[in-house]
Every structure is written in structure tokens, then in C-alpha cells.
Amino acid sequence: MSTHIIPDLVDNSDVSGRRLADVLSDALQMADAPALWVATAYFNLDGFETLGAALEKVEELRLLLGTEQEQEFVLTYRLTQELERHFALVHPESQQKVERWAAFLKEARVQVRRYKPREHGRILHGKMYLIQNVPGLGGLGIVGSSNFTGAGLNTNLELNAVLKQHSATAQLQQWYERLWQDAEDYKAALLEMLEQFTRPLSPYEVYLKVIYEAYRDRLESDLSERDGKPSPIALADFQRDGYHAAREILEQYGGVLIADSVGLGKTYLALRLLDDYAYQQRRTALVICPAALRDTVWKPLLEQHAIPHRIESMEQMSRGDLDLDDLSQYAVIVVDESHNFRNPGANRWRNLFELLRNADPEQTRLILLTATPVNNSVYDLYHQIRLITRDQKDFFQIAGIENLEGYFRKAAEQRESLYELLEAVSVRRSRAFIRKHYPNATIDGKPIQFPERHIHSVQYDLQQVYGGHLYQRVARTIEELNLAPYQLDAYRKEVVQSRLCLFGEEWAQIEHALRRSGMNDEQIRTFRFELGGQAALADLMRVLYLKRLESSVEAFRNSLRHQLQFQQRFLQTLQQGKLLSSRDYRRMLMLESDDEEEPSEDLQALLNTLQPVDASKYDLGVVQMAVQDDINKLQSLLNDLNQLAPQNDAKVNTLVQLLQNELCGEKVLIFSYYKDTARMLYEELQQRLPGTEIALVDSDVKLEERRRIVQRFAPKANRSMLPPGEREVQILIATDALSEGQNLQDARIIINYDLHWNPVRMVQRIGRIDRIGSPHARIEVYNFIPEDALESLLGLMQRLLDKLGQINSTVGLDASVLGEAPNPMDFNTLKRIAQGDDQVLDELEQEGELSVGEFLMEDLMMYLKELGEEHLGRIPLGRGTAKYAEKPEQVGFFAAFRHTRTERHYWLFQREEGTLETARLSAIRPVRSKPDTPHVPLPPSEQIEQKLQQLRAELVKRLNQQVYHAQELPKVQRQIVRWLQALPSSALRNELLGYFRDALPATDLSALRTLWREIRPLKTPEVLRRLKAFADSHPHPVTSVPRLEETTKDDLECVAWMWLLPREGFRQTAAMQENQAGS
């Protein structure tokens, strides 16, 4: 462009020669050793990029920065935000662009100053460009509206006047020089800002940046600033953090699981939420809790804080005639000790589910409280979460969980998979975490003390308890019992005649015999499952006998007596040519159960309710021989056991010596799983420790009496005054009927009289005395261990569990059946308890509380405690680093993305061979780094951009697949839908199609399957009528689920990335393995 055709006005219009970028570039190219002076309110690197090569000729560049707003200069913030957006959205060549122009700005010929509006009382709003040494002109000035940005130079519709006269450009030069002299240097600040995008990051910084961005909303703990509403409910700082997180979850999902460790004040956290959702909104809360906590914990607290409420005990929730309509009007429901709602077959679970399925999700909030959401398996947690989801399998779609049931099937094999769910719906902090990261926690200004916990092993001789010879015979007899009434289908004529192993390779021959007898395939499958369940039931009885054998002679003797009476009655019925149905014998387990939270049914009442079955299908002679054999063995054992007296019991004597010596004068809490054992101990200690105040709590002790005993045992913790003349209880003997949540921290000693076949129970028991407000520096836990017989007991138990495993692999057992058996993984824990390993307590807490992924928050808290969060906050989004992988399988590329609309974080790890890990915890484990983990040179930036773009595209595809994924229907619903689709269109048919195309809760499927079998042979109008009646009586649960919407690539910001490169040795090892495989 020659000087004579330089336009007089520049507006970035489509008219040729009217773009400011072109005018400046051409003028700079024509000029001889040009100088470029710029005054602009704002600039970005796209301004430099637009002029590109033309700036290389510039001998001097002056950049004078002003502001468009009467406030503190915010240029660097705006520029940082813009650059960060480029990095986060993986714009091509973002890294190269920043590095290129940062290097340019460092050159001596480039000067940057900013005008100081507050010092001069006015702002610099003008935009100006002055080029010196333009041929034919000398100077060329441009004054107008264009900022020195990509848009200002190129695309915005601007208006700029071009000054060519010498006098005009001379005045412009004077004006600029005057302002330049009044401005302050800003080059160093600008380069410092750009350094955030160019300096190498350590792997430790990138790892923490990923976690920080995911958790930063939870780091704020100032209650008064966050919610602005005063509350009389004082919380410790860690409780306030939990309260904020819980409230956020409640607002998003309508339900929350609060699973902090035992004794950390979950009740007060829930109370603070009730203050919000009940008191502040002038609505009524429903609290469901163990009966023992109704009057001792919840009622006083709710009345003290004037929260409108109704309290229902879990026992009341178990009633078959519970009026659910009467409970339907409550705005918020708290379920304390919610792990007691882990069995969907129990009345209490079904009643609560039905109450919730019909509740308005926009108005009703559900708060689940438990320190141990998992007692036996992850399905304990699943059935509690179902109360929040109302059985909608894609309820947590927005959290990346497409099908909740399938998600838990995976979690049963790999517990870490639960991280996404737990992050979405739970508040959970272990005791160790709180102690470490909130060491100065206070409530109402008073410091909180967390006692040290120590476990001790109390050895006793089990063989001496029974006598060596008798113990061996007892153990052998338990294994040899036939227990025919529990597995009647094993005595069907076809099975007895085959004389084959029921569970193994010979099953096919039994199946052939059953088919010859007239069974079809479906009947055979049902029979096989029933047969497996019955065999498992018999083995579970043996498991319970082993547990009671270790507990006490009294508990074991009573179990055998119950079994003898049962089999004698069974034999009498059999001799009349009748059989009782083994399907109902599961209820017999309640008589021997280790769950002593509710009273057992009377044996005679149980027997009277059992229904007879068709005796003609069974070989009654073989059944009679098996039953008579058991009766003889049981009678013989009982005769010998009746000779044993408590005063000669080695285990009881060991307890008495411990109480008289080492624990003399201490307040002691003694636990047993079994009422028979607890009552025997109470009677013995009353006789042997005269003058000591001893009390007993089991399921037969009425609630009011339990409350009085608790207050006498722990008057300080329960703020109660004893009546004149009444003494404090010194030794309290209890079963687990002494409910969780009790405040018993006046004591510091717990004795567990039985082996912990479920060690999580030990954590629950310790929580009775290890609570906020404990006055003790140490808590001592004594565990009775049969040192001589521990290995033999575990061996017997393992053989029974192996049999259960074989049955399960053959027929597939119900999870609730397997849940009643000990977990072999707990056997090693038992041995560590026997060795007095204190660390096992923290590990058990983490397992029972599911402290999955807690290490992430712990790593972050450790960093923030030492260095604060400012540094992490200043690391821009979209940055990354590289390091050497620690293991060959960790070679790959990691990327963290944040969805800008849902705020959901996604962590992806693509292994070198191409497989993609999307489970967040598994994805980030290879990335976890230490402060001294070195970074290594980065691969070319275009390769990094390509990786990020590929992973972002894959994530977009997967998220959109979830949006459009059709919900999978249960088989019976698919059958009904196909049948309805074959009918002519009608209002009723179309209504039913709409109903059955939406998956029903699992609680309704059994009734639907039964109905469908009954009505399929009927005529169409009657089938439609019956289906309509079912639909009317089983409405779909109403849920308010956050739904995913279609995602685009611009919805996903890159938080950070890391390339994990192979070490040299990895390649050599892989090559050697390949060669070995080839040879």
C-alpha cells in the first residue's frame, strides 16, 4: 500500500484497505527502522499475533495501557482470564503463542507502561497508534476506538481517523510523550503474568491443581458468611464444612448420606440441616431412629431447638399395618443409623421406600446418617442409596453413573469404583482425617479432644472351657449334622435316587432326572435356585453354631436345645406323613441370629405358622433317618454340655480376674453378640463382684429401663442427675441392642467378650464411648481371643464358607444369604486384632465408612496447610506437565476436564495401548505425585493439543450417548410392552404403553411377574383391565433428577493434563517379555 492510498478513515469494514491491521502492517513494512507507539485501554496477544512479522522490523515499541473503568487497573486479570480460556478450550498453538510473545516482550526494544488514573484524577480512555519514519509522511497517526486486540484490529466495527499531516502527528507525539512520562513501568508485571503460562510445572503442582479445582467449592468453612442466617446450633469447623457440603448435595439430589466416623457429631450436623429445612421454613421434620435413641437423644435436642418434629422408631417402621398416609406430609426426613435399612426384604425398608416414592421430590429432603454404611457388602450401601433414587437407575446420570445397579455390580469387585457416587451424594470424613486436619477444632470455643485408641488381646483357653475331648467332638458334630428340615429338596425322590453330588459337575445328570419327572426348564431353574438356597441355609446354621460355640457354653447349649426341640417336632409331624416347608425355615435363623437388636420370635409360634408341603414328592424314610440321626447327636451333646458350670468356665474366670485386677475401679462396658451370654455374665458377675454396681441391657430390657441404665452408667455424658440413694453403674453388660448413637463416654474401657466375625461391629461399639466431648486421653479396647483354638475355629469356618462358595458358583445365591456369612477377608483382621494391632481400627473405619479416595483431600489439605491456596489458584487452567510413569501400566496421558454448565469434573487416563480409564479414582492414581517428583521435557506441543482434543471429543461422545441412551427395561416389562405394541391403538393401550416403557422399581417387579404369569392366558380386555389396576396401584416414583443435556466441546474446559512417559527400563522389559512369549 503506497502512502497516497492510505485511507482517512479505518473501520474494519469489508471495503478494501479499511482494516486497521492491514493499515498498520503496511505502514510498518514501508517505514525505515520504524517506531510504534500505542495507547490502548486493553490489549491481548492476538493484537501482537495480528501484526505478526511486521513487528519484527520495529526498532521501538511503546505500549501505554489505560483503562475504560474508574476502578483499580484490572488489565492483567482480564488478560489472564482470556489466555486461560484459550488454554482450557485447547485452542491450537496457545502455548507457542504465549511463549513467542513473552519472548518478544522481554526484548529491550519493547517498553510497557500503564497510566495511573487515581493519581491523576482521570482515566485514559483514548486509543492511538503512531508510526515514525513512514516514507513521504514522516509520521502516521491513527486515533479512534480500536483497542490493541485481535478484534479491535480486525473484526470489530470501529471508527478511527488517520492523521497524515506533520502538525497533527507532531501534536499527537507530544500528547503521547506527556502521558508516557506520567505512567509507571508495567513490563515486569506483564511478564510475571505471562510466566504463569510458560514456566514449567512440577507433577506435584499439576496433581494438586486437579484436586483443588474439583474440591475448591468445599474448602470454604465460614458459616456466617456463607448462609447469613443465625443458628443456635453450634458446630465445630469440620462439622460446618460437612454441613455446607450436605446442603449442596441436598439441593442437587434431594437426599444426602452423612457417613462421618463414629462419635464425630453427625446428629448435630443433621440438626443444623433441620434448622434450615424445618425450623426456618416453618415445616415439620420426621426423624426415624432406633427406639433407644428416641427419648435419650433426638427428642431432647429437637425440643431444645424448637424444631417441629415427629419421631418414629425403626420398630414402628417395621409394622405391617403402618399408615404411610399419616407420614406423607413431612418436608425433611432424617434416618438415623440408616445402615439398619440395608435389607430391602425387611418391612422397615419397604415402608420407608413406599413413603418416599410418593413424596414430592421438590419439597421432601432425605438425610441418611450412619458411620458404617457397609456392614457386609457394598450392597448394604446400594439399598440405602435406593431410598434417595426411588429406584431410578439413571438418577446419578449427571455424575457419570448410567445405571446404578450395574455400577454396584462393578463396585462389588472393585470398591474404589464407588468414588463417583460417594462424591456425588455423601459427606464422609474418617476420624483419622479429622484429627489430622482439624487439630484445633472447637465447639463454642471449647477445644475438642480425640482420645487415642488402643486394643488389647485377652487370651483364654477355649478347649479348657469345654474340656479338650468334648471340644473336638462338638466341632466335629457341627460339621456332621444333616439339618434335613432346612434342605428338604435334597430329599426329593429324584435327587435321592440319583445319589449324585448336588453342586458340581454331576448336576447335569440330576437335571436329566428332574426333566424325566415332568419339570420344564423354568421349573428346573427355580428348583435349582431353591435347592442352593436351602443348602446355604443349612450351612449358615452351622456358621451360627460355631459363633455361639466361641461365645459361651450357655449360648451354644441354648442353640442346640432349640435345634433339638425343632427337629423333635419336625419328626412328630413327619411320622404323621407330613412335612413342613423348608422355605420358611429362614425364620428359624432369627432364633440364633447374632443381630440382637430386636426380640426373636417364640419357637412354638414359629412352628405353628409353617405351612405343610406335598409329602408324596419326598423320600420320607431317608428324611426320617437323617432327622433321627441329628436328634441322637444333639441329645448326646446336650447331656455332656449340661455338666459344665459357669463357675468352672475358663473364659468367665479370665474376665473376672481382669475386672478384679487390671481394671479394678474402672467404669467398664462389656459387649456380647448374644443375649444368652450377656445374661450368664450378668448373673456370674453379680455373684463374684459383690458391692459393684452392675447392669444389663439386651433386647428384653424395656426402653425406659434402658434409658435409666444408660443415665446411671454415663450421667456426665447424658447430663443427668441421679436420684438420691441411687448409685452409678460401674459395669454395664450389653448386647448390640444398646443402640448406636448412645453417649457413654463417661467410660474409657470396652471389653468385647466374643470374636469379631464382623469386625465393623467393633468400630460401632467403640463409637459408644469414643465421641466428641470425651474427657479421656486414652480409650482401651479389650478383645477376648481363644488363643489355643483360633486357628481351628477359622479352619472350620473356612470349610463352611468354601461350601457356600461352591453352591454360589453353581446356582447363584441371593446377596442377603451370603451377607449373613463371615467374610474370609475378615479372618486376617481377626488375627491382627488378636495381636493387638492398633492400626486395624483406622483401617476398619475406612472400610466400613467407605473412605474411598480420602487420600485426595488429605493430600490437598496437607498442601494448603503449609502453603495456602493462592498458588494453586494462580496456576491457569489448561496447563500441564510430564513425568516418568512409576509402573509400565501407568504409561499414558491424563486429562482433567470441567463441564462449565454442570460443574462436573471428569478425569480420564488413556493408557499407551489405547484403553481409556474414566473412573476418576483409577484415572488419577498414576498422576499422584510427591513434592520432589521431577518433571521431564515435554513432547511437542502439537502432540499434546492433539491428545487433549481427542480425549475431549471422546468425552463429548460418551456424555451425549448417556443423554440419548434408552433405559433398559426388566424382562417382564419388555414382554408386556411387546404384547401391547401388537394391539390396535386405543386410549387404554397407549396409556399402558407409556406406563410400562418406564422402568419400574425393583420392589414392584415380583408382583408384576406373578400377575403376568396369571393373566397371559386370559382374554385381551381382561388382561388390559388387570394391567390398568396394577398401574393404578403401583405409580412410578416421582423424582426430581438433574438431567444431562447435550454437550459440545466448548462446554468442556481442560483443568490440567499430564503425560506419563515410559522409563527406559519399561521398554527393555516389554521387549524381553515379547521375546519370551515368541520363543
Residue 353 reports pLDDT greater than 90: yes
pLDDT at res. 72: 41
Residue 162 reports pLDDT greater than 80: yes
Mean pLDDT score across all residues of the chain = 83
Measured between alpha carbons, how far is residue 932 from residues 203, 811, 893, 929 in Å? 9, 53, 21, 8
Phi, psi values for residue 42, rounded to 5°: -150, 150
Q: CA geometry: angle at 1078 spanning 1074 and 1079, to 5°?
A: 120
Please state the rounded mean pLDDT for residues 707-736.
89
Tell me which fold the domain 254-391 belongs to: Rossmann fold (3.40.50)
Please state the rounded mean pLDDT for residues 370-395.
88
Domain ranges of the chain: 3-198, 254-391, 453-459+646-786+814-843, 462-641, 971-1031
CB of 36 closer than 8 Å to CB of 61: yes
SS (HEC) of 561-576: HHHHHHHHHHHHHHHC
pLDDT at res. 42: 83
pLDDT at res. 5: 77
Q: 3-198 and 453-459+646-786+814-843: same fold?
A: no
Q: Residue 834 — pLDDT band, cuts 50, 70, 90?
A: confident
Closest CA to 617 of 501, 517, 706, 724: 517
pLDDT digits (tens, 9 = 90+) for 328-344: 789 899 999 999 999 88
The residue with greater pLDDT, 830 or 629, is: 629
Residue 402 reports pLDDT greater than 90: no
Q: How far is CA 609 from the centre of its chain?
A: 42
**One-letter amino acid identity for 408?**
F
Q: Residue 612 — pLDDT band, cuts 50, 70, 90?
A: low
The residue with greater pLDDT, 825 or 644, is: 644
Q: What is the largest CA-CA distance in the chain?
A: 128
Q: DSSP states of 228-266 as a string? A: ----S----HHHHHHHHHHHHHHHHHSEEEE-PPTTS-H
pLDDT digits (tens, 9 = 90+) for 47-71: 888 888 888 889 999 999 886 544 4
Q: DSSP states of 88-126 as a string? A: HTT-TTHHHHHHHHHHHHHSTTEEEEE--HHHHTS----
Superfamily classification of domain 453-459+646-786+814-843? P-loop containing nucleotide triphosphate hydrolases (3.40.50.300)
Closest CA to 781 of 546, 355, 526, 455: 455
Report the percentage of the chain scoring pLDDT > 90.
Answer: 37
pLDDT digits (tens, 9 = 90+) for 484-525: 888 888 888 877 766 555 555 556 667 777 787 777 777 777
Residue 265 reports pLDDT greater than 90: no
Please state the rounded mean pLDDT for residues 981-1000.
91
Lowest mean pLDDT among 123-127, 242-246, 305-309, 914-918: 123-127
pLDDT digits (tens, 9 = 90+) for 853-905: 788 888 998 898 888 888 898 888 999 999 999 999 999 999 999 999 888 99
Look at the pTM and tell me if it is higher than 0.85.
no
The segment with the largest mean pLDDT, out of 107-121, 531-545, 660-674, 1057-1071, is 660-674
Tell me which fold the domain 3-198 belongs to: Endonuclease; Chain A (3.30.870)
Sign of the alpha-carbon dihedral angle for 856, 861, 867, 868: positive
pLDDT at res. 1072: 46
pLDDT at res. 664: 93
Which residues, 6 or more positions from 460, have their beta carbon under 8 angstroms from its beta carbon? 650, 651, 654, 784, 785, 786, 787
pLDDT at res. 1037: 82
pLDDT at res. 606: 38
Phi, psi values for residue 332, rounded to 5°: -140, 135
Q: DSSP states of 320-389 as a string? A: TT--SGGGTT-SEEEEETGGGG--TTSHHHHHHHHHHHTS-TTT-EEEEE-S-S-SSSHHHHHHHHHHHH
